Amino acid sequence: MKPYIEMTKDELEQEISALRREYKKYQAMDLHLDMSRGKPCKEQLDISMGMMDALNSEADLTCEDGTDCRNYGVLTGIDEAKVLIGDMMENNPDNIIIYGNSSLNVMYDTIARAYTHGIMGNTPWCKLDKVKFLCPVPGYDRHFGITGYFGIEMIPVPMSPEGPDMDMVEKLVAEDEAIKGIWCVPKYSNPQGYSYSDDTVRRFARLTPSAKDFRIFWDNAYCIHHLYDDKQDYLLEILRACEEAGNPDMVYKFCSTSKVTFPGSGLAALGSSKRNLDYIKSVITIQTIGPDKLNQLRHVRYFKDINGMKNHMKKHAAILRPKFELVQKRLTEELGGLGIGEWSNPVGGYFVSFNTLGGCAKTVVGMCKDAGVTMTGAGATYPYKKDPQDSNIRIAPTFPPIDELAKALDVFVLCVKLASVQKMLEEDVTIAEQS
Amino acid sequence: MKPYIEMTKDELEQEISALRREYKKYQAMDLHLDMSRGKPCKEQLDISMGMMDALNSEADLTCEDGTDCRNYGVLTGIDEAKVLIGDMMENNPDNIIIYGNSSLNVMYDTIARAYTHGIMGNTPWCKLDKVKFLCPVPGYDRHFGITGYFGIEMIPVPMSPEGPDMDMVEKLVAEDEAIKGIWCVPKYSNPQGYSYSDDTVRRFARLTPSAKDFRIFWDNAYCIHHLYDDKQDYLLEILRACEEAGNPDMVYKFCSTSKVTFPGSGLAALGSSKRNLDYIKSVITIQTIGPDKLNQLRHVRYFKDINGMKNHMKKHAAILRPKFELVQKRLTEELGGLGIGEWSNPVGGYFVSFNTLGGCAKTVVGMCKDAGVTMTGAGATYPYKKDPQDSNIRIAPTFPPIDELAKALDVFVLCVKLASVQKMLEEDVTIAEQS
């Protein structure tokens, strides 16, 4: 098909009529489809059912150091869970705290603690006039939700396939003492599926922040979440990179098994320097007696070791690969060459990032909704839910069954076309007329 | 034996020599005994092993409303868990949030949220010059740990077998707007095992606090933790009492199954008014995607309903009853009538509270330690760890096997005697000489 941008007004008018007719057909179907959240699908949950047998009433629920996992105690996690999660996050097990089921909650707590008490002797953020965070965009809405809730000013930093714009990051953190952190999803980023290059990671490690309590919030949510055996992104390990650069305390690493075993019933963890962890331990001992050790033991007994976990991830990949491939296929077939959209093509993670023509994202998401297809809200990938271009849409293809995904994609591409042509007609800017 | 207080100096000198000889014998035994924490013992953990079979890989992990408990979602807990925990805490299931594994963490979060953002539109506590809490004493050290950590001034309020001194509570909360809360363990209190009288609960419900954001922190940790079938304390339900008194939003109720099933792997919950809960939900949706629903389902499938839970608690009682009875027996046999100690005799909960002669508690705990018996630190039951009388010691008899408990009690009573006689000789105040 001719790129829309090359069409005459008449051709666009014809196209929009055809698109509207098709849209009405979908509206009549009473669809209820959802591509909004990064949720595993039923088949993915099924592959972890063995977890439910990993412990039973005949099992010895004692861990390696002799601790009875059924009782109180062990603030930072049992040793064997630290080894397993350490291998998952490429972290020395001594530099880990195992938490409850939610890495989001760990991040919230980390911000909340800095807000109420400060980081290692620095002024509590609640006592400062202004606290700012750098937010690579588009990014993860729930990150922005936390910093927004604490009144932290969020400064967008553009993302590229190599990671955040490091010139900007370096300059801002060096200049502005109010900048206390940056949100990162460094591998298979949410929503693009980009992985930071080695150079980007090294530049992070070498940052010279003005604020002593500046921390990199390194949410490695998709560290082992590959789609392919033979095409995988590789991420330089940031904690070691920071150590080598003489900034050992500059990073908090977060991860969880939410998308490895059962979301909501997994293990979350924080990896950091000994100094950071010692400080955090001194606080969490006030907060809780300790996380659920039986669930830690359940994970360890089920996976045995990181190889068990990696094999398990291959089963996830086998389920997700066709879905991601379908997204690429349908977007390419329907939108390729039309000049009205660009999208990422990740080899891991949970999302595809789609950029419409400027000013079309909200319209597209609204049209999808009116045709029964729920997408992540337009703007959600930006701080304050404000996408200045109104162009980014996050596609989450994991949850729907593949036939529903196909139908949802049909609706999506149709809505992209419809919104784009409508926009072009409204703005009356076609190549044909401009020339 | 003659009460120590009636002995002459000579008699006391003879007594202390005999006690010292005995103490040395215990010191030579190289004991390692622990009466310090409210931990269930191994036999108690064993009775919950069926929990480990409540879910397995063949089980349908869908809850009653059709939610797949293996996936993300359900912020405030699955319905059937709310019914079970609602029955446990005598709370309408609609007025409950089910959390993770730690009620302490729920209390910490509740304070932290008030500190960072205030309660329902009131000024965040971090923005106030002064925030104060009332602390019935002796009380639970971890409560005081939380308020202490947030720099909240703690005002001790004396406890009686009826509950806190309500004249004092009523006066202080009415007069002082800085008083934002009070810590309560209303049933089988920690450490005395007292349960608040109906009159006390009604007076709580009718409080007229100066602070609009005053809340009663009602930690009903031992709500179903009876020692006897036929001797049980009854506690008036505070949420209804507050509603009836026109103060529906004044209380946060906390509970957990930590001492019902497995400590660290149980369910914690918050019960409160709809208005309080709506506000809290608006925050926790930022904090987490939700707690572990599989563990909720595990509890529900295991217990079926509150009757299952109550039957289960009878098994705990059967294990704990002999231990509590041994405490009473040994204290009475060894210290009864000596005039050097008083203690509580609860019919539920996890502790016995012991008061030495003034100025002896630290000495007793130190002597116990030197003879290989760990007690809760003297002073721990008071804010800032400062017992003004240096007299209260918490006895936690649940964890040690009964033969070890017996030995630990031998050491304890010996140390109480030794410290008391030593004190009396130091102060040179005996009845004999006074008269």
Summarize pLDDT for A330-344 with one digit per residue, the tens: 999 999 999 999 999
Contact A342, A331 (CB under 8 A): no
How is the beta sheet containing A96-98 ordered, strand by strand?
Answer: A96-98, A268-271, A251-256, A215-219, A179-184, A132-137, A153-160, A163-164
Kindly list the distances between the CA atom of residue A206 and the CA atoms of A173, A241, A249, B151, in Å, as whole numbers in the listed order.
11, 8, 12, 36
Averaged pLDDT, A85-101: 96
pLDDT range class, residue A410, cuts 50, 70, 90: very high
Whether the per-residue pLDDT at A15 is higher than 60: the answer is yes
CA torsion sign for B123, B124, B129, B135 is positive
Beta strand extents in A33-108 (DSSP E only): 33-35, 96-98
Name the CA radius of gyration of chain B, rounded: 23
Three-class SS of B356-385: ECCCCHHHHHHHHHHCCEEECCCCCCCHHH
pLDDT at position B2: 85
CA torsion sign for B185, B188, B191, B196 is positive
Of B363, B381, B345, nearest to B425 by C-alpha is: B363
Of B341, B323, B345, B383, nearest to B195 by C-alpha is: B345
Digit-coded pLDDT (tens) for A226-253: 999 999 999 999 999 999 999 999 999 9
pLDDT at position B1: 76
Q: What percent of chain B has pLDDT over 70?
A: 98
The model scores a pTM over 0.90:
yes
**Residue of B292, B298, B385 to mutate for A, most A C-beta atoms under 10 A:** B292
pLDDT range class, residue A429, cuts 50, 70, 90: low
Whether the per-residue pLDDT at B432 is higher than 90: the answer is no
Averaged pLDDT, A281-308: 97
Helix axis angle for B306-335 and B293-303, nearest 10°, is 80
Cα-Cα-Cα-Cα dihedral of A260, A264, A265, A270, to 10°? 70
pLDDT range class, residue B435, cuts 50, 70, 90: very low
Cis amide leading into A191 (omega within 30): yes
Contact A159, A189 (CB under 8 A): yes
Alpha-carbon span A280 to A294, nearest angstrom: 23
Q: Does A86 touch chain B (CB under 8 A)?
A: no
Whether the per-residue pLDDT at A8 is higher than 50: the answer is yes
Whether the per-residue pLDDT at A225 is higher than 70: the answer is yes
Whether the per-residue pLDDT at B433 is higher than 90: the answer is no
Contacting residues for A198 by C-beta, under 8 A, at least 6 apart: A236
pLDDT at position A434: 46
pLDDT at position B57: 97
Work out the minimum CA distance from B70 to partner chain A, whole angstroms. 5
Digit-coded pLDDT (tens) for B265-319: 999 999 999 999 999 999 999 999 999 999 999 999 999 999 999 999 999 999 9
Averaged pLDDT, A389-404: 97
pLDDT range class, residue B429, cuts 50, 70, 90: low
Q: What is the ipTM of this complex?
A: 0.96
Give contacts of A51 with chain B, Cβ < 8 Å: 57
Q: How many beta-carbon pairs under 8 angstroms link A with B?
A: 154
Q: Does A258 touch chain B (CB under 8 A)?
A: yes
Helix (H, G, I), strand (E, B) or coil at B343: strand
Residue owning tokens 């130091």: B426
pLDDT range class, residue B428, cuts 50, 70, 90: confident
Digit-coded pLDDT (tens) for A178-221: 999 999 999 999 999 999 999 999 999 999 999 999 999 999 99
User: What is the average pLDDT score of chain A?
Assistant: 96
pLDDT at position A2: 85
Residue A29 is classified by DSSP as T
DSSP code string of A88-150: HTT--GGGEEE-SS-HHHHHHHHHHHHHHH-STTSPPGGGSS--EEEEEES--HHHHHHHHHT
Q: Which two tokens stand for residue A310?
A: 């990696």
Whether the per-residue pLDDT at B170 is higher than 60: the answer is yes
Averaged pLDDT, A67-79: 96
H or E element: which one contains B135?
Answer: strand B132-137
Give contacts of B103 with chain A, Cβ < 8 Å: none
Q: Which residues of B15-38 are buried (b: 16+ CB within 10 A; e: fewer)?
A: bbeebeeebeebeeeebebbbbbb
Give the nearest partner residue to B49 out of A42, A57, A72, using CB atoms.
A57
Whether the per-residue pLDDT at B193 is higher than 60: the answer is yes
Work out the minimum CA distance from B32 to partner chain A, whole angstroms. 17
pLDDT range class, residue A428, cuts 50, 70, 90: confident
Digit-coded pLDDT (tens) for B32-82: 999 998 999 999 999 999 999 999 999 999 999 999 999 999 999 999 999
Averaged pLDDT, B115-141: 97
